[in-house]
A = this chain, B = another copy of it.
Amino acid sequence: MKKQLLLRYGTVCQFEGFVTKGCFRLFTIDHEGNENVLYFAAKDWWVTDIDSFTNQTPAFLSIQALEDSEVLLVNKSDKELLYERMPKVEKLFRIMTQKTLVSLQRRLIRNHSLTAEERYQHFISTYPEIAQKLTNLQIAAYLGITHEFVSKIRKKISKGQ
């Protein structure tokens, strides 16, 4: 259900989820109450707080549905059993984790090396389907800029077209 929380900050994440419909956002809230989006997870993406799930510690992240969504969940013991019984699952998750690591590394590099406008352009051209589901506020919380700045960039781009 839209706006429903799949995971609430401070609880232990007991699942890895595979999104079969809809879209989720994974976010933190800082001291001043600002939301910061770590990433969005659309159809065919995995969704979890890997830190909390792996270490069974309280989550730093919350996970919320952006629209009516469906997700398949696997818990930690079932996942360990899968690894044990099917070595190919181990390989699959090793490769997937590697891919997630690569995309997080790229994101950190972009945060350092691109301007806010370049990051915005990169985001909407890489994930056009996700971007169209989002408000300026949600995109701003992902890019780490104000939503006024997102509006400004959007106006500038539409003028330029």
A interface, CB within 8 angstroms of B: 28, 30-31, 36, 38, 50-51, 54-55, 60-61, 83, 87, 90-91, 93-94, 97-102, 104-109, 111-113, 144
Number of copies: 2
Chain B, Cβ-Cβ closest to A26: B105
| Interchain CA distance A98-B54 in the complex, whole Å | 8
Closest to A141 in B: B112
Q: Which of A36, A113, A144 has most chain B Cβ within 10 Å?
A: A113
Say yes or no: B51 contacts A106, CB within 8 Å. yes
Instruction: Report how far A31 CA is from B117 CA in the complex, Å.
Output: 14
Contact, CB under 8 Å: B113 / A28: yes
CB-defined contacts of A112 to chain B, threshold 8 Å: 28, 30, 36, 144
List of B residues within 8 angstroms of A94 by Cβ? 90, 93-94, 97
Return A157 CB to nearest CB of chain B, in Å.
20
Contact indicator A105/B38 (Cβ below 8 Å): yes
